[in-house]
Structure 1
Amino acid sequence: MTQFLVNGVPRQVAADPDTPLLYVLRNELGLMGARFGCGLGLCGACFVHVDGVSVPSCDTPVWSLEGKSVVTVEGLTPHPVQQAFLDEQAAQCGFCVTGIVMTAAALLERDPHPDETAVATALDRHLCRCGAQQRMIRAVVQAGRPQEASDG
């Protein structure tokens, strides 16, 4: 039995200790945001946060999560990077987007105002076959811009 937090909720999982977190999230907890891409942690479609670090859930065994905190894209909302993706129309097919949003959110925690180079470097592990990378980079940079105070 492995105990950890998922999106702030205590969970107890009876899965085989070597079961990938991705399978637990999707099959046991019904959280479908992280997607299966390559199964090797190389494409980025399955990224989630574990104790604030963006990691591939497809090659993170459930035993390694004991006492840790996991945040999926379902638990991230609302986040400025999500609105920026909408504003920039950064998602095309959407398959890779949840993993990219998770990595972008982790980047913005470490570096609240990244430039395009920092964003491109952070997202380098993620594959997007639709070619929307430039829009995604612009969206993350936009999400990191200080919000102007409104005159109200």
Structure 2
Amino acid sequence: MKRIFRIILAIIIVFITLLFIRPQKVIYEAKITGKVIDENKKPIFNATVYRIEEEYFIDEKIGSNESTELRTESVKTNKNGNFYFQEKSRIDWFHTPLDLPIAYCYANFEIEKSGYELYKTKFGEFEQFKKENCYACEKVEFKPIITLKKNQKIKNE
């Protein structure tokens, strides 16, 4: 009787563990279709736009979870100042059913152009709350129009 109880208990523990640890949760990075203009509303050609993503790691020295921002993709603006990052995805290997069925989707990027100040999105500047048929940030699109300011050092020279 004790042996049957232990087997049933082991099966229940394995079942509960499988509920909380699942492979292949897909994380979507939003599609970004934007435009870069100057202070006179003229398009800026050949500016470099970088997608910024968070990389998570464990700091062995202090034993805590840390993150850093990485430039993961780059594109150049066309003659009309337009740029485009297609939706992309990556896989997170562990998640739990306690993950909420909602998502905040962000568009984080930087824009560089010689003669202009570096533009970097601020926390929450481009975000969207998604709940309907929520599967991470799938099919979320941002369409920012970004105004680059002339570099003050160059203006004053």
Q: Relative contact order, CA 8 A, sep 6+: which one is greater?
A: 2
TM tier, smaller: under 0.3
Larger radius of gyration: 2
The structure richer in helix per residue is: 1
TM-score (norm 1): 0.23
The structure richer in strand per residue is: 2
